[in-house]
Amino acid sequence: MSEWQGRLPPDAAEIERIARAAMAELPEEFAAAAAAVAIRVAEFAPDEMLDELQIDDPFELTGLYDGIPMTEKSVSDQPAGPDIIWLFRRPILDEWASRGDIGLDDLVIHVVTHEMAHHFGWSDDDIAAIDRWWE
Each residue's pLDDT tens digit, 3-39: 555 677 899 999 999 999 988 888 888 888 888 899 9
Count of the separate structural domains present in the chain: 1
Whether 25 is in a domain gets the answer: yes
Whether 6 is in a domain gets the answer: no
Closest by CA position to 49, among listed 70, 32, 33, 66 = 66
Whether 1 is in a domain gets the answer: no
Whether 99 is in a domain gets the answer: yes
CA atoms within 13 A on the CB side of 129: 6
Whether 107 is in a domain gets the answer: yes
pTM, to two decimals: 0.85
Whether 77 is in a domain gets the answer: no
- CATH code (residue 126): 3.30.2010.20
Is a pLDDT exceeding 70 seen at residue 69?
A: yes
* Average of per-residue pLDDT values in the chain: 85
Whether 71 is in a domain gets the answer: no
Whether 45 is in a domain gets the answer: yes
pLDDT given for residue 20 in this prediction: 92
Is a pLDDT exceeding 50 seen at residue 1?
A: no
pLDDT given for residue 79 in this prediction: 65
The torsion angle over the Cα atoms of residues 119, 135, 107 and 61, rounded to 10 degrees, is 60
Residue range of the domain that includes 61: 12-66+82-130
Is a pLDDT exceeding 90 seen at residue 130?
A: no
